[in-house]
Amino acid sequence: MNIPIDQERLARTFVQLCEIDSPSRREKGVSDYLIRTFHDLEAASIEEDTSAEQTGSDCGNLIISIPGNKPDLETIFFACHMDVVEPGCGVKVVRTGDIFTSRDDTVLGSDDKSGIAALIELIRILRENKIDHGPIELLFTTCEEIGLLGAKALDCTKMTASFGYALDSTGIDRIITGAPAANKLQIEVHGIAAHAGLHPEQGISALCLTASAIANLRLGRLDEESTANFGLIHGGVATNIIPDHITLEGEVRSHSLQKLAAHTEKIKRTFQQVIECWPLPPGKRDEDETPAQERATLGNPIPAALTPAPSVEINVQLEYPAMRLELSDPVLARVNQAGLNLGRNLEFQIAGGGSDANILNSFGLPTAIIATGMDKVHTTDECLDLKDLIRLTELLFAIVVA
Ligand SMILES: [Zn+2]
């Protein structure tokens, strides 16, 4: 297959995109660039949706439609996110041979601008060479890196494609066909404050309650399909005050919804049991041995001078649903055929992370994830090899002309 990619133009586009600031909620610079670019490429329509009202971004998601001239091919879409993680402003791209990195202490932004650059080059070569292809939709989302907010706020009735591909993964010639669901946990542990030097026996440390619960839990990899982590902890006022409030934020992920629920429940029960069984300070013990949790909500059986018993509030939110595609699904069959047409052995894999594809699949839009060559993402060592970016563009070409 002869694919007329202009490699240096592709490299220039990639560098230009990386050097436009686009932290989450400030994607407008990239959005304006895309509107200009696809206007010049005579897109049939360029629409910005109203998701900014929900996401708080300075622009909405962009949906761009490129008409096809092969009536037997169904409409497919490609999606990329426009935002990058911090530190991602003031990026200066350094090119050493074919390798792109960032100067200074920023990420490069190949996550996800590698995908965007490949799509621009794809449409350019289709246009310039008058190549027959099926109809294409391009979706550029905001706020992916801060909880898939743009995709969650997308009005998917605006999408007409039957299925598509999110270009957003490390590696190359790799297709992600499944990803876990995730619960986000916010846990508020309340103890009793007291002066740590004068009368520590009157206090209950929220930190000790938290530590005891964590020590009774398994975190990290829970089973072959599930993981759990607490990544943020806040609390305390001074070294001489027993802390009465700890906030803990974490997540549980699983490819199985049943296991997701079970692991989440186990965490909730562990915190509740630790609180219920914790000995109260002298003088704070109830006559009737009512469990601590209920004591706090039972009106006021405790003398007014005493502070409430320890308690815990646990908030669980489904961060994103799981995705799972089968090799027989048209979305995978099409990319598999494209790989064969290029003489490549694509790898089909399950991933451990969530992305816009989880949300698009939950809308009923089958979406596979295609690796773009991006590497060491979310670090200042992030890099991209131009040869991989070319391989990605070739694969996209093979998909649209298939
Ligand atoms: Zn990404």
User: From ligand 1's centre to the CA of 85, what distance in Å?
Assistant: 9
How many Cβ atoms sit within 10 Å of the Cβ of residue 374? 28
CA of 268 to the centre of ligand 1 (A): 31
Q: Rounded to the nearest whole angstrom, what is the distance from the C-alpha of residue 145 to the centroid of ligand 1? A: 7
* Distance from Cα 116 to the centre of ligand 1, integer Å: 11
What pLDDT is stored for residue 2 in this prediction? Answer: 85
Choice among 83, 137, 388, 394 that is catalytic: 83
What structural domains and CATH numbers belong to the chain?
7-180+322-401 (3.40.630.10), 181-318 (3.30.70.360)
| Whether the bond into 87 is cis, omega within 30 of 0 | yes
The CA distance from 174 to 171, in Å, is 6
| Known active-site residue 83 | yes
Ligand 1 center to residue 295 CA distance, Å?
Answer: 47
Q: Active-site residue 137, yes or no?
A: no
Grouped pLDDT means (10 residues each) for the chain, 402 residues? 94 98 98 98 96 98 95 93 97 98 95 98 97 96 97 94 97 97 97 95 96 97 96 97 97 95 98 95 56 46 56 96 95 97 96 93 97 97 98 97 87
| Type of residue at 328 | S
Residue 131 CA to ligand 1 center (angstroms) comes to: 30
Residue 194 Cα to ligand 1 middle (Å) = 46
What DSSP assignment string belongs to 315-350? EEEEEE--EE--TTSHHHHHHHHHHHHTT---EEEE
Give the pLDDT confidence score for residue 289 in this predicted structure. 46
pLDDT at 300: 41
In the set 111, 121, 144, 385, the catalytic residue is 144
Give the per-residue pLDDT at 320: 94
SS3 assignment, position 314 = strand
Q: Which residues have C-beta under 5 Å from ligand 1, the single-atom ion?
A: 111-112, 168
Query: Which tokens in the block code for residue 327?
Result: 């090799």
For residue 380, what are its two tokens?
């200042």
Q: What pTM, to 2 d.p., does this model score? A: 0.85
At residue 298, the pLDDT reads 42
